[in-house]
Structure 1
Amino acid sequence: MTAPERPDVLVFDVNETLLDLTHLEPLFDRLFGDPAMLREWFAQLILYSQSMTLSGLYTPFGQLGAGALRMTAEIHGVTLEQNDLDELGERIGSMPAHSDVAPALERLRQAGFRMVTLTNSAPGAGPTPLEKAGLAEYFERSFSVDQVKKFKPAPDTYAQVAEAMQTPPSRLCLIACHLWDTIGAQAAGWQGALVLRPYNAMLPADGVPVPDYSVDDIGKLADRLIGS
């Protein structure tokens, strides 16, 4: 496959791509006796966020996350208390950065790349998760789907970034650990870079866009982008 043209703007997904979702595992271990239940909850959250968008509806991601936890608990016969929902919100808001992220971002910044984020999460009061994780300084802007009231991978979520950054779609690269996100970006004319975090993989099926880059950590992506 021919190497893609070097992008002008790198657009990073936040949850799980930059910030470590396993920070939530102790909550699921306490509630369900199995930290891997985090993955069932997260799959429900993504399924219903996309279902809302396809139905022309919108509820902020954090509220859907709490609802998905209630749903998962009901399915498994677990009783939730308000403090459980509070802990979910606290843990989501304080996820640490993956160890490969800051060094790679620093190298990309030194190499002259413009960098922004695009997240399903709505903005909130107080320090942002990126600020708490020590990553906010690397990004020129932070975009949220809350601005268009549609969740990724809806085309409008990517279009708002291209318009705001005044950059042709082909010069933007979406970096995410979720293939559904890179699929949406590539369908919008962007480049796509898949970071193969645990519990994420390619989907080998006809018609599914293959990411322009596929790596198992962001440092390796930096190597390829800087060398391109």
Structure 2
Amino acid sequence: MNQNKPVSTLVFDVNETLLDITTLEPLFDRLFGDPAVLREWFAQLILYSQTMTLSGLYTRFGKLAGGTLKMIGSIHDVDITDDDISELAERIGTMPAHEDAVPALTLPRDAGFRLVTLTNSASAASPTPLERAGLGGFFEHSFSVESVGKFKPAPETYHLVADALKAETSELCLVACHLWDTIGAQAAGWHGALVTRPHNALLPAEEVPVPDLVAPDLTELADQIVRRWKST
């Protein structure tokens, strides 16, 4: 088998990469008087999703998101009600697409790349968050870590996609705004493309994989992808 085929499939992360999580800020502003607490919550959500996987445990990402909000409430001495948890779930399910998402998806699709998604979130009934955001039609398949019961960046999550698509790892490139995600993909033999949205950056440390491509917005990143690996 040829392990050095050029990239033909782009695997997009969803939350924050394609969908704008800053639309959750009004909830955090109402609860904590500071919309920036969103970032504290999100960092803890990722930390504990990875902790669950490293510990051999699993619960749905949505359940973990609600529990993490309650935990942050305890830290800040704020009572979190069931209605608050419901509002969080509603806002997560209706996040809009980033302004650069449609042009960034159109360019590689029209160039012949296969487009799929891989998310920590559980499978959702239609319409999905991507469909609500107007992006669902770009993707031939949406993968969830739910089927392997391990959160990214566990190797099994990336193997899930490769196996389902019957693709060699060199043909796959993860597109994400989280370096921990591209690190996991590259460790699994994929390529990595990083969009440095606010609050996300490279980690200059020894042995930390550097993404193949880096750009400050998704449209520029898509342009780099097409120029480097345009399908023929």
Same fold by TM-score greater than 0.5: yes
The residue aligned with 2:159 is 159
Q: Report the counterpart of residue 130 of structure 1 in structure 2.
A: 130
Q: Which runs of 5+ in 1 are unaligned?
A: none
Deviates more, 1:122-131 or 1:35-44: 122-131
How many angstroms apart in 2 are the aligned matches of 1:223 and 1:47? 32
Give the conservation status (yes or no) of the 8 Å contact 1:6–1:225: no
- What's the CA shift string for 1:137-167, capped at 9, x where partnerless? 0001000000100000000000010011111
Does residue 11 of structure 1 match 2:11?
yes
Pair 1:216 & 2:202 matched = no
Identity, in percent, stands at: 66
Note the C-alpha offset of 1:64: 0.2
User: Could you list the per-position Cα deviations for residues 9-51 of structure 1 after superposition, in whole angstroms to 9, with x for gaps in the alignment?
Assistant: 0000000000001010000000000000000000110000000
Distance 1:212 1:152 in 2: 19
- Secondary structure of residue in 1 paired with 2:143: strand
TM superposition score normalised by structure 1 = 0.97
Conserved? CA contact 1:176–1:195, under 8 Å? yes
Matches within 5 A, 1:50-199: 50-199=50-199
Deviation readout 1:96-115 (Å, 9 max, x if unpaired): 00000101111111110100
After TM superposition, the score normalised by the length of structure 2 is 0.95
Which secondary structure does the structure 1 equivalent of 2:29 belong to?
A: helix
Distance 2:104 2:190 in 1: 21
For structure 2, the 5+ residue unaligned runs are none
Cα displacement (A) at 1:6: 4.1
Partner Cα distance (1:130, 1:151) in 2:
19
Cα RMSD (Å): 1.1
- Please tell me the residue identity of whatever aligns with 2:210: V
* Shift in Å, 1:82: 1.4
Find the residue that maps to 1:16 and give its secondary structure: coil
1:109 is paired with a residue whose SS is helix
Cα distance in structure 2, aligned partners of 1:176 and 1:6: 19
Distance 2:139 2:8 in 1: 14
Aligned to 2:25: 25
Compute the displacement of 1:126 (Å): 3.2
Task: Give the aligned partner of residue 201 of structure 2.
Answer: 201
> Does structure 1 conserve the Cα–Cα contact (< 8 Å) formed by 2:44 and 2:68?
yes
CA offsets 1:70-110 (integer angstroms, 9 cap, x no match): 00000000011211111000000000000001011111111
The whole-number CA distance in structure 2 between the counterparts of 1:28 and 1:5 is 45
Displacement of 1:125 in angstroms is: 2.3
Runs of 4+ in 1 over 2 A off after TM superposition: none
